Amino acid sequence: MNYTRFITRVSQNRQPSLIRELTSLLTDASPELVFMAGGLPNPQMFPFQAASVTLRDGRALTIHPDLMTDCLQYGPTPGYPPLVKQLKNLTQKLHAPPRWSESDLIVTAGSQDGLCKALEMMIDPGDYIVTQEPCYTGTLSILNPYKPKYIPVKGDHEGMDPYALKEALSQWNPDDIRDLESGVPKVLYINPNACNPTGVSVNEQRRRQIYDIASDYNLIILEDDPYYFVQFGDMKDFPPSFLSMDTDGRVLRFDSFSKVLSSGIRVGYVTGPKPLVQRIALHKQVSILHAPSISQVLVSELLRTWGEEGFFKHTEAVQEFYRAQRDSMLAAADKHLTGLCEWAVPTGGMFLWLKVPAVIDTWDMIMKRALEKNVILVPGKAFMCDPSTPCQYMRAAFSVITQEKMDKGLKNLSELIREEIER
């Protein structure tokens, strides 16, 4: 594929940082190399000498003294090399990308960082963007200042509807726009598993149809998938990722360890066609330089200590935990919200997406009156491309509250809704 049409003028003007490029020579450098190029601070002057963390199973994860410099010093922009290698292995195992030899993977400071840079690379002010609606607020927050022309695509309990996607694009003839550089949609954003906020996943058949449509219209798919490991079901039944069906080289996939290892550790990664991934690295070179070294070493050492089996055992435990949370939330919703709200059963993740058919817009009810009732949720408008349109939905997180709190919260919510209906 020719990627030029996807790259904004600002991004095209981003040049590799000379010092960053020279610093990358340090990876696998001969001990004979006298490196006088970079402004590396001397780690002898850093106050940290050793690091060890205790895992929940009681084991100690001790960073070998030889790795302390890697933890504390500037590192390569694409990521800590042993971690990059581990993540490439994991990606190959889970997604078997068909164009693997033409793909690359870089570590980001969480997937938000990767998304922000990918959009900076591809979206000019006023551009079109095709996105699922409702859409993750963090993506809308990146996009809104570009004042894009949103092409929102609705879905249902099985995620984005390919017919709605086709309909949304119907004003264009794919043959006329495939190669145009501006004034046409070029990017499709989708959060395919346990979508934030709806909690539902796109089924396999729909994924294949969506991929084909993206192929017809020559769209790059941004596959934002931080809940991959928080799908409720057997891993072998997870629907295939867009990356795994990417025969064209049009998918940028965003992964994250936030939901399974730690959100504060800020480690995610982007995988996709080399020209795009390496350009995202240019945007990192001028912003964060690289994801935090200590976090990357910690994740890498954890994965090494656990091995693949240990990692998957952990992700299974994470799934089980959130599935139980979801079930408690559904029980509380059945008890308190039946007849007041409608919802689809979340297939993963941390959210219940509630529709209140009797309320035209949930915004005022939540923003002005919910606090008095001792309950707070996110009004659905926050996930809409056009916040001026009334929205009957709201998002309730079940990730960190106890069963008791779910019961109390949804009881309070039911009273709030009843009062709202009577207003």
Residues that bind ligand PMP (CB under 6 A): 110-112, 136, 138, 191, 196, 224, 226, 256, 258, 263, 268
**How far is it between the farthest Cα atoms of the chain?**
80
Provide, rounded to whole angstroms, the least separation between the CB of residue 294 and ligand PMP.
17
Contact yes or no for 273/99 (Cβ under 8 A): yes
Provide, rounded to whole angstroms, the least separation between the CB of residue 254 and ligand PMP.
7
Beta bridge partners of residue 190, listed in sequence order: 223
- Give kind and range of the element (H or E) at residue 12: helix 9-13
Provide, rounded to whole angstroms, the least separation between the CB of residue 282 and ligand PMP.
20
- Residue 188 vs 417, nearer CB to ligand PMP: 188
- Residue 196 vs 231, nearer CB to ligand PMP: 196
- Residue 26 vs 344, nearer CB to ligand PMP: 344
Q: Which of 148, 198, 207 is nearest to 345 (CA)?
A: 198
Provide, rounded to whole angstroms, the least separation between the CB of residue 32 and ligand PMP.
40
Q: In this chain, which residue has its C-beta nearest to ligand PMP?
A: 110
Distance of alpha carbon 194 from alpha carbon 183, whole angstroms:
32
Contact yes or no for 238/80 (Cβ under 8 A): no
- Give kind and range of the element (H or E) at residue 239: none
- Residue 185 vs 348, nearer CB to ligand PMP: 348
Q: What angle do CA 271, 272, 278 make, to 5 degrees?
A: 90
- Residue 23 vs 114, nearer CB to ligand PMP: 114
- Residue 97 vs 268, nearer CB to ligand PMP: 268
| Beta-carbon contacts of residue 326 (< 8 Å; ≥ 6 apart) | 199, 232, 345, 346, 352, 398
Provide, rounded to whole angstroms, the least separation between the CB of residue 25 and ligand PMP.
30
Provide, rounded to whole angstroms, the least separation between the CB of residue 281 and ligand PMP.
17
| Beta-carbon contacts of residue 212 (< 8 Å; ≥ 6 apart) | none
Provide the 10 A C-beta neighbour count for residue 415.
Answer: 14
Q: Which of 103, 348, 76 is nearest to 233 (CA)?
A: 348
- Residue 268 vs 373, nearer CB to ligand PMP: 268
- Residue 8 vs 196, nearer CB to ligand PMP: 196
Provide, rounded to whole angstroms, the least separation between the CB of residue 64 and ligand PMP.
27
Q: Which of 114, 150, 122, 121 is nearest to 134 (CA)?
A: 150
Provide, rounded to whole angstroms, the least separation between the CB of residue 44 and ligand PMP.
33
Give residue 55's Cα distance to chain centre.
26
Three-class SS of residue 218? Answer: coil
Distance of alpha carbon 417 from alpha carbon 379, whole angstroms:
13
Tokens describing residue 399: 């990730």
Provide, rounded to whole angstroms, the least separation between the CB of residue 136 and ligand PMP.
4
- Residue 136 vs 229, nearer CB to ligand PMP: 136
